[in-house]
Structure 1
Amino acid sequence: MIQLVGSKKVCEKLKVELSKYNIERDAEYELVLVERGYEIPEDKLCIVFDAIDYMTVVKLLISGNRNNLHKDTVTGFRENKYVLIEPKDILFVEVNSDCIVAHTILHEYSMKETLQYYEMLWSEKGFIRANKSQLINLLHVKEIIPWFNSRYVLKMANGAELEVSKMYSKILRNTLKI
């Protein structure tokens, strides 16, 4: 289905991300992903991207491949049990020392995938990055407090206060039109 043309490092990263969404690479490809600076195949549909934007290409591809995604529930682990959790019940997700933790009003659950995975999966459900280690659900933000150096503090429904870094503050402002 897809051919990759680019540096070994970027192609390896793309292979990992594409496999998460069951997007296959095949000799009989229909689409070519080409890292800028590499030769563009003729007579094929190509997407040319900068190496730093490889995740944007993945987002573009999965936006047309939604049937393969299991976005309605995720599996969390708590007290030696697995639990199905709906994204709307999650207040925020954060990186812990050894895993990803999803916070709901009542409990915390360990999860297996990366923060970047959940960010891509739920971006259309109102989840945005607050900083490099936290992803928040805007539906559960109770207050947005302007903070020092163009940053914000978000008060969540469970009382937690999360700091939005300067880098992600611009995205928050654009998303909420503030």
Structure 2
Amino acid sequence: MVQLVCSPAVAERLRRELAAVGIAVDDDGWTLVERGFDVPAGSPAVVFDPLDHVEVVRMLATGLREGTTGPPRMLTGQSGSSFMVIAPREVRYFEAAADGIVACTATGRYRVRETLAHYESAWAGLGFLRVNKSQLANLLHVTEIVPWFNSRYVLRLTGGAELEVSKTYAKRLRSALKM
């Protein structure tokens, strides 16, 4: 059902975890690829951080269930034909783009399935805040808040990205940060 492209130590742990939930390891179906290894062409792949291997097995075993309570512990983003398992702490910001909603991280931009409104409500407790009509910022990645013209702000994030906080959302930002 899945094939593995990873280090021997991680492969051993994955085989044990996958066997426990009844998922066979063979050369068909999905490919689980440890970050840093080459993604093989021809089959869908999930790229994961070795520390998150248990979370990948959980996602495969249970699927992405609708109606779960609280924010998910992980996010699945798509880049080309590969899927990346992303921890919320890695997402710097979400934005509405021409091809859908995109999660921007240090390693790249990944299309995600849900809407900005979903992430705004479900992930508010994780520090995500709407800053304008097309972007949500992870406040954990804000390095500087620059007052801007007409009661607006510019957020400078780790990695150099800058997001403009519109006048409509500036009050929410001030309230959230108690400024």
**Under TM normalisation by the shorter chain, which class is it?**
0.5 to 0.7
Counterpart of 1:93, as a letter, is F
Q: Aligned equivalents of 2:105 and 2:146: distance in 1?
A: 22
Q: Offset at 1:79?
A: 3.0
Runs of 5+ unmatched residues, structure 1: 1-19, 23-66
Root-mean-square deviation over aligned CA pairs: 1.5
Q: Does 1:98 align with 2:99?
A: yes
Percent of aligned positions with the same letter in both sequences?
48
Counterpart of 2:81, as a letter, is N
Counterpart of 1:107, as a letter, is G
Q: Counterpart in 2 of 1:125? A: 126
TM-score for both structures, normalised by structure 1? 0.61
Say whether the 8 Å CA contact 1:145–1:153 is kept in structure 2. yes
Runs of 5+ unmatched residues, structure 2: 1-64
Tell me, what secondary structure is at the counterpart of 2:129? strand
Give the 4+ runs in structure 1 shifted more than 3 A.
Answer: 67-70
Per-residue CA deviation, residues 111-164 of structure 1 (Å, 9 max, x unaligned), is 111000111110000000010000000000010000001000001101011000
Say whether the 8 Å CA contact 2:71–2:123 is kept in structure 1. no
Q: Aligned equivalents of 2:153 and 2:132: distance in 1?
A: 11
Tell me, what secondary structure is at the counterpart of 1:148? coil
Which piece of structure 1 moves more, 135-144 or 74-83? Answer: 74-83
Say whether the 8 Å CA contact 1:21–1:68 is kept in structure 2. no
How many residue pairs align between the two structures? 115
Say whether the 8 Å CA contact 2:92–2:104 is kept in structure 1. yes
